[in-house]
Amino acid sequence: MIYFEVISIIIIMTHGMIMCLDEFYFHHKRKLPKWERLGHPVDTLFFFSCFFIVIFFPMTKISVILFFILSFISSMIIVKDEFIHAKNCCIKENYLHALLFVFHPILLIILFLSWSSFTKPYFNGLESFNSTIIKNMMYFQFITTILFFIYQIIFWNFIYKEKTKL
């Protein structure tokens, strides 16, 4: 169990650092066009919805199916902009995106396995992943994802002003 906790914490923290570097360095450096300012909150909303299911719903057949549908959509929707990013982003930012795409489904798997920390597991064997440490990490990630979603909407759509060319 300790291995699951340690590996999960390392993955969660690494993903968070990469996400912050992408958002607060690369996005601010190159500025986001309108389609990206609208699209990124959608990505975050689907990711957030997976946490919402795990934290607030018991593990039933229906909630597991819903979780997997939302996880699949979340994993697919984050790559929607990559054909445009290939043209607009530097190689370092594209590399960061690739890392984020690798970490994304791994985080969703960790989230699924940690579901037994919130409720009685639907599948036998998942109770061995019950962990107070991971449960608290998931609460933390849930809250930071909500805050990040709010930030993305408010900053990029109401505070940020595009520079007009003369």
pLDDT digits (tens, 9 = 90+) for 56-98: 999 999 999 999 999 999 999 999 988 888 888 999 999 999 9
Angstrom CA distances, 92 to 21, 44, 99, 131, 166, stand at: 11, 22, 11, 36, 30
Mean per-residue pLDDT, 87-114: 95
Overall pTM surpassing 0.85 (yes/no): yes
127-164 burial, b if ≥16 CB within 10 A, otherwise e?
Answer: eebbbebbbebbeebbeebeebbebbbeebeeeeeeee
Output the pLDDT for position 59. Answer: 95
Confidence of residue 166 (pLDDT cuts 50, 70, 90): very low
pLDDT digits (tens, 9 = 90+) for 13-25: 999 999 999 999 9
- The single-letter DSSP state of residue 32 is -
Q: Secondary structure of 71-90 in the HEC alphabet?
A: HHHHHHHCCCCHHHHHHHCC
Output the pLDDT for position 126. Answer: 84
